A and B are shown apart, each in its own frame.
Chain A
Amino acid sequence: EVQMLESGGDLVQPGGSLRLSCAAAGFTLRTYSLNWVRQAPGKGLEWVSGISASGGSKYYAESVKGRFTVSRDNSQNTLALQMNSLRAEDTAIYYCAKGSTVTTTGGYFDLWGRGTLVTVSS
C-alpha cells in the first residue's frame, strides 16, 4: 500500500525547536515534489513549504520563512521540516503531501499523510 507517514509532533515551549519527518512507503519519492501543509485547530488548510524533486528548489509561506527549513533525502525516501523559534500560532496538525510533478507548482497533492500534531505552549 502506498502511504506517507509523519512523525515528530510534540508539545514544545514557545521559542523552541522541533523536527518533523515524513516517510514514504510503497513507492519512491525521488521523482515528485513534496509539501508540508498545516491545519490549526478548527481552521482551514495552510500550505507551509514545498521542495522540488531534486531538492534544489525550496519555498516557504511568509508566516514561517526564516524559521522553518524543508529538506529531503531521496536515498532514504524521506522528507523533513526543521522548525525553529516556534510560536503559539504554529500549533497545528502538520501534513506531508506528495506533489504530482517534479516542480513545486503546476500540479496537485495526490497523496497525504495522516498528520502529526505540533502544540506550542508553555
Chain B
Amino acid sequence: DIQMTQSPSSLSASVGDGVTVTCRASQTISSSLNWYQQKPGRAPKLLIYAASTLQSGVPSRFSGSGSGTDFTLTISSLQPEDFATYYCQQSYSSPQTFGQGTKVEIK
C-alpha cells in the first residue's frame, strides 16, 4: 500500500497568514493527489484534485502543487472559515490512502 505522510500534524495561524501543508507519498503517484477540507461534524469537501486543479467553487486563495512523491497545499491568506482539518489522498492505486490530516487552528 502507498503511505501518505502529512506535515505538520497541526499548526496555529492567524487570519491573513499564509499557510503551507505538505504531503509525501511512499512511492511515486504522478499527479494523482487530492486535497480535502473537513470541519467538525461535517463530511469532507474536495478542494483540489490532480495535485493542482481547483474544484469548482473553491476560493482561489487555495492552491496545490507537486508531482511524484512531494506535494503541497497552500492557503495564501487564511480566512476564518478556513480553520479546519486538511487531508491529502492518493488515487494512483488501490487502496486510495489518506494522509493523517493537518489541523489548522486559530492562533
User: Which of A's residues lie within 8 Å of B, judged by CB?
Assistant: 35, 37, 44-47, 50, 59-62, 95, 100, 104-110, 112-115
Q: How far is the CA of A113 from the CA of B43 in the complex (A)?
A: 7
B24-41 CB mask vs A (1 if < 8 Å, else 0) is 000000001010101000
Chain B 85-107, CB-CB to A under 8 Å as 1, else 0, gives 00101011111111111000000
Q: Is the CB of B55 within 8 A of A110?
A: yes
Contacts of A112 in B (CB 8 A): 43-45
- Total number of A-B contacts with CB less than 8 angstroms? 65
Whether B46 is near chain A, meaning CB under 8 Å from some CB there, is yes
CB atoms of A44 and B98 under 8 A apart: yes
1/0 contact trace for B7-37 toward A, CB 8 Å? 0000000000000000000000000101010
Chain A residues positioned under 8 Å from B92 (CB to CB): 105-106
A105 and B96 contact, CB distance less than 8 A:
yes
Residues on A with C-beta less than 8 A from B101 are 44-45
Q: Closest residue of chain B to A110, judged by CB?
A: B46
Binding site for A on B (CB under 8 A): 1, 32, 34, 36, 38, 43-46, 49-50, 55, 87, 89, 91-101
What are 10 inter-chain pairs, A to B, with CB distance below 8 A? Answer: A44-B99, A45-B98, A46-B98, A50-B94, A59-B94, A105-B92, A105-B93, A105-B96, A107-B91, A110-B49
CB of B55 within 8 A of CB of A61, answer no
B100 engages A44 (CB within 8 Å): yes
Chain B residue contacts of A44, Cβ below 8 A:
87, 98-101
A45-B87 in contact (CB<8A):
yes
CA A24 to CA B41, docked complex, whole Å: 21
Of chain A, the residue at the smallest CB distance from B101 is A44
User: Known: A46-B98, A47-B96, A50-B94. Is A114-B32 also a contact (CB below 8 A)?
Assistant: no
The chain B residue with its CB closest to the CB of A99 is B91
Given A44-B100, A44-B101, A45-B87; A104-B43 close (CB under 8 Å): no
